[in-house]
């Protein structure tokens, strides 16, 4: 695929990506992808991974499900030994392939989507519930009153 500079396009149902589904709130939708294989001017074999998917996650602010559009656009340097990673150009992430040079495209796409997921998913349209926001505001006032350094703050003024 590298020598022929092949490209593959298609889509995979999210439900077929078991590891990814384990990190999601739902398995609806499909991942659209394009893989472009090639060799750069330095002789490094690579695959460009382009993927887009609407992924259902749980907002950690509101605890409600929401759809997060995830886009992946990475260049992966194909290496056969871990020590070959040092020879990759900047901006090229390593992808360790088997000795026969084969790789499973679905696994590569799934790995890249997993890496693109946020550690703490938050729906940009969400807000804190009113009772939580009020409790947080009261906690700040109580903390200031009970703070042993409050006297020093007053002296500083």
pLDDT of 42:
85
pLDDT of 77 strictly over 90: yes
pLDDT of 135:
66
17-26, 47-56, 148-157: segment of lowest average pLDDT: 148-157
pLDDT tens for residues 109-128?
999 999 999 999 999 887 76
Separation in Å, CA 29 to CA 11, 17, 21, 84, 88: 10, 11, 11, 37, 34
Going from N- to C-terminal start, the domains of the chain cover 7-125, 127-157
pTM of the full structure: 0.77
């Amino acid at each position: 695929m590298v020598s022929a500079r092949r490209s593959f396009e298609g889509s995979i149902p999210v439900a077929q990506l078991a590891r990814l589904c384990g990190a999601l709130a739902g398995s609806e939708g499909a991942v659209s992808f394009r893989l472009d294989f090639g060799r750069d001017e330095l002789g490094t074999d690579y695959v460009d991974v382009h993927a887009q998917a609407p992924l259902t996650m749980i907002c950690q602010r509101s605890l409600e499900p929401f759809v997060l559009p995830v886009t992946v656009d990475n260049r992966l340097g194909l290496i056969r030994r871990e020590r070959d990673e040092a020879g990759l150009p900047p901006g090229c992430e390593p992808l360790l392939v088997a000795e026969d040079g084969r790789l499973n495209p679905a696994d590569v796409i799934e790995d890249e989507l997993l890496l693109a997921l946020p550690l703490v998913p938050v729906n940009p349209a969400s807000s804190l519930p009113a009772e939580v926001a009020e409790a947080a505001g009261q906690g700040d006032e109580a903390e200031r009153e009970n703070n042993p350094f409050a006297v020093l703050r007053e002296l500083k003024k």
